[in-house]
Amino acid sequence: MSIKRQMQRKHQTQNADKKLIASKNENAMVGGILEGSPDAVGVVIIRLECGCRKMAAVDIKGDMASKKIIAYRDNADSICDKCKEDHGDFSRITTQFIEWDKDDIEGATKKMIYEKVFGTAPIVH
Ligand SMILES: [Zn+2]
């Protein structure tokens, strides 16, 4: 196999790995949120174009399992000025997904929760 091809291959793999998987910092946050939310089955992760993140735990019914939505920014003491102004407006979302805590949740349940969180019941701070 040519080096070019190998590199392309590696690139593809890396892209696949990156897809909707929480980053290292996000994972630390997810762990903390799950610890503080006994009913949680997963954590909603919302990434904003400015680099800030919003997260909240969800329970098996798709309701919020944490007391509040956590907003934070990697390597910063606080969220950015723009987010302080518009509270992380939904128009600026780049990625949103759920990091599941347990693997044994049924696909249909996941779908229901996903739709409840992102579809009919948008998270409002
Ligand atoms: Zn921001």
Show pLDDT as tens, one digit a residue, over the chain (125 residues).
Answer: 676 766 666 555 544 444 567 788 889 999 999 999 999 999 999 999 999 999 999 999 999 998 889 999 988 889 999 999 999 998 999 999 999 997 789 999 999 999 999 985 444 44
Question: Angle 25-108-32 (CA atoms, 0-180°, nearest 5)?
Answer: 20
**Chain centroid offset of residue 86 CA:** 19
Calculate how far, in angstroms, residue 72's C-alpha sits from the geometric centre of ligand 1: 8
Q: Which residue has the tokens 């190998």?
A: 6
Q: Which residue has the tokens 């735990």?
A: 57
How far is residue 100's CA from residue 110's CA, in Å, rounded to a whole number? 9
Calculate how far, in angstroms, residue 110's C-alpha sits from the geometric centre of ligand 1: 28
Amino acid identity, position 27:
N
Calculate how far, in angstroms, residue 55's C-alpha sits from the geometric centre of ligand 1: 13
Phi, psi (degrees; rounded to nearest 5) at 44: -80, 130
Q: pTM score, two decimals?
A: 0.76
How far is residue 96's CA from residue 120's CA, in Å, rounded to a whole number? 15
